[in-house]
Each structure stands twice: as C-alpha cells, then as structure tokens.
Amino acid sequence: IKAYQSTHFQGESVDFTQQVSDFISFMPKSFKVLRGCWLLCYQADACDNVCVLEEGHFPDLASCGCPAAEIKYIQPMDYVFAEPSISLFALDSCEGREMHFEEAVTSVLSEDLHFYTQSVW
C-alpha cells in the first residue's frame, strides 16, 4: 500500500508492506492499494472502527469509508483459501455469542431475531 500525506495523492508518500501503527510523524490522508487487501483502523467518536481497503485508489479518508479521523493502524489481510464462511459475534473483539454461516443468508434476523452483531470474523 502506498500512503500519501495529503489528499488526492499529494505530498510525501510512503510504501508499506506490513502492519504500521506509528503515525505520529506521518499521518496519511490518501492511499493507493497496489496489491491485496488492507485493514485500516481509525478512531472516531471515542471508539475504534475498521475499514477494508481493496486494490484501488482512495483519494481521501471518506473514500476509504472513514470520516476525517485519527488512523490507529493499517495492516495487510492474509489470504485464506478455504470454504467461504463468516462468524458474527455479539461482543467486540470476536467474543461472546457466535453465529456461524457457511451458506448464503438473506437476513441474520431470520436466523435469530435478537442477535446484534458487534464484530465479524
């Protein structure tokens, strides 16, 4: 991933190939994902949020799916070649009650009316 100090790919740029969590001297404002997928964790409204950046150009933080916020870390996502599945958890950090799906589901509410998803694996 190539990160730029200003929006629209302006200013100083830095290439990253592994997780980075030290954005004190360099706070990126735009990204070019050259290969793979990356997780971007940002802090907004006193809680952490995560966006997935796939290959492509992101001229500002809004195009990444996050508002102007403090970026906490970015990290590459590992590829897993397995049967597709998803696990939904009732608590943060993939804890608490879990709902696991290996087939398409049109609505989680049709499976459990009182399940409120807080994290995904």
Each residue's pLDDT tens digit, 29-44 = 999 999 889 999 887 6
Residue 46 in this model has a pLDDT that exceeds 80: no
Averaged pLDDT, 20-29: 87
Asked if residue 30 is part of any domain, the answer here is: yes
- N-terminal to C-terminal alpha carbon distance within the chain: 23
Token pair recorded at residue 102: 């290996």
Q: How does pLDDT run across 50-109, given as a tens digit for each residue?
A: 888 999 999 999 998 887 678 888 999 887 777 788 888 988 888 899 988 888 777 777
Residues 32, 56, single domain; the answer is: yes
Which pLDDT does position 30 carry in this prediction? 94
Residue 4 in this model has a pLDDT that exceeds 90: yes
What's the domain count of the chain? 2
Domain assignment of residue 104, given as a range: 86-120
